[in-house]
Amino acid sequence: MSTGPFLYDDDPAPLHTGAPRRSGKLMVLILAGTVLAAVLFAVLLPVVKGSPGEQATEVTGVFFAALAAGDTETAHQLLCEDEREQVAEEEMVELFLRPGEPEVTGVTDDETAGARVQQVTVRWDDGQTDRFAVINEDGPRVCGRV
């Protein structure tokens, strides 16, 4: 055998020279956290925004407060699209407002449309009542008398 310096006289190089790989636990935790956050937001959304009945009560109160203050532009924007096309801003006070202070006395789901349409009962100072439909159309909108 020869005794000189050899071209390849080192030991074989180690096969794994980098840092050890992590397990997929971090990715699973991130994914699980995202799913948990999405479910939590979906469950808490009605708490933040209110139930459909609460939203209908709120928009009806704002609608009549705007009419009473003479702010027909705001009240007109709170109408559903069909009503906005049929009713001019100038006609709103005489069509919707009666003498006295309106009071929302009840909200129920519509018998035919279910929870998509809320029927809001409004009582006036003279004892008369009106029912208004409120639908969710980019937010709750008053859609005329029922």
Q: What mean pLDDT value characterizes the chain?
A: 86
The one-letter amino acid code at 14 reads: P
Q: Is the pLDDT of residue 1 over 60?
A: no
Say what the pTM is.
Answer: 0.69
pLDDT tens, position by position, 32-66: 999 999 999 988 887 787 888 889 999 999 999 99
In this predicted model, which residue has the larger pLDDT, 9 or 136?
A: 136
Where do the domains of the chain lie?
A: 51-145
Q: Per 3-state DSSP, what percentage of the chain is helix, strand, and coil (rounded to 5)?
A: 40, 25, 35
C-alpha distances in angstroms, 37 versus 25, 30, 42, 43, 45?
Answer: 18, 11, 9, 10, 12
% of the chain with per-residue pLDDT over 70: 87
CATH number for domain 51-145, candidates 3.30.70, 3.10.450, 3.30.1490, 3.30.420: 3.10.450
Distance CA 120, CA 46 (A): 19
The position carrying tokens 């979906």 is 42
